[in-house]
Amino acid sequence: MEDDILTIEEVARYLRVSERTVYDWAQKGEIPSGKIGTVWRFKKSEIEKWVNDRLSSSEKPALQNQQIQVKNILSPDRIVFLNHSTKHDALLALADVLSTAPQIKATQELSVEILKREELMSTAIGRGIAIPHVRLSSVTDLVMAVGISKVDIIDFQTFDDTPVRLLFMIAAAYNQHTYYLQTLSYFSNRLKNQELRDALLEVENPMDAYKLLTEDNN
């Protein structure tokens, strides 16, 4: 489908890098791409998988070395149970929760940008997980909210066809690029643990989920 094909500009916006960087990667074969005539084009699904692989890859030691202190970016009151079967409704509900954090200064902007980011490319990373994320100048420091869905969210366009049940929404200040990537990397790796995922889906209250996410995180 046409909307599964991205331009250099769209990929650059998604990756938060310059168009020149994307062009250079394409020229060197470092990013999945193809040419239609003289114009570079990118398959949405392939870029999504490429990003997820890089975020969880040990080839990026700088992103793995710094321990993310979960208790500094998450509190129990920002862990909620969701009951929405569409990603639009689930994202808006979780954005409302995240906007209660003092680090969020523009509630409407957060909701708009989260949805806009999702339109560009799905933030589902497989295994029933999505990590919607944005960097905004109106955010003063990196902060997150967690949504545990009681129903399958079926329209996240996951590459493994597993409906999303766990959402980790991250908002960061625009100048926190490295910390932002480290946080995405940390959770994409941590959530590979099936026991942790299963335990999160079975918790009965937010505090139990908070304890699971903060244990062994000192």
Give the β-pairing of 5-6 and 39-43: antiparallel
The answer to whether the beta carbons of residues 134 and 114 sit under 8 Å apart is yes
Q: Which pLDDT value is given to residue 54?
A: 76
DSSP state of 2: G
pLDDT at 212: 96
Do residues 201 and 164 make contact, with C-beta atoms less than 8 angstroms apart? Answer: no
pLDDT of res. 35: 80
Residue 52's pLDDT is what?
79
What local confidence, expressed as pLDDT, does residue 59 receive? 44
Predicted pLDDT of residue 66: 53
Which pLDDT value is given to residue 132?
Answer: 95
pLDDT for position 48: 84
Q: How many Å apart are CA 156 and CA 178, to the nearest integer?
A: 26
Enumerate residue ranges in the chain where pLDDT < 50.
1-2, 58-65
The per-residue pLDDT for 158 is 81
Domains and CATH numbers, the chain: 2-55 (3.90.105), 70-214 (3.40.930.10)
**Residue 61: predicted pLDDT:** 42
Does the model's pTM come out above 0.95? no
Q: Residue 62 CB: number of other CB atoms within 10 A?
A: 10
d(CA 157, CA 97): 24
Task: Tell which residue, 131, 140, 66, has the closest CA to residue 94.
Answer: 131
Q: Count of CB atoms within 10 A of residue 27's CB?
A: 11
Report the length, in residues, of the chain.
218
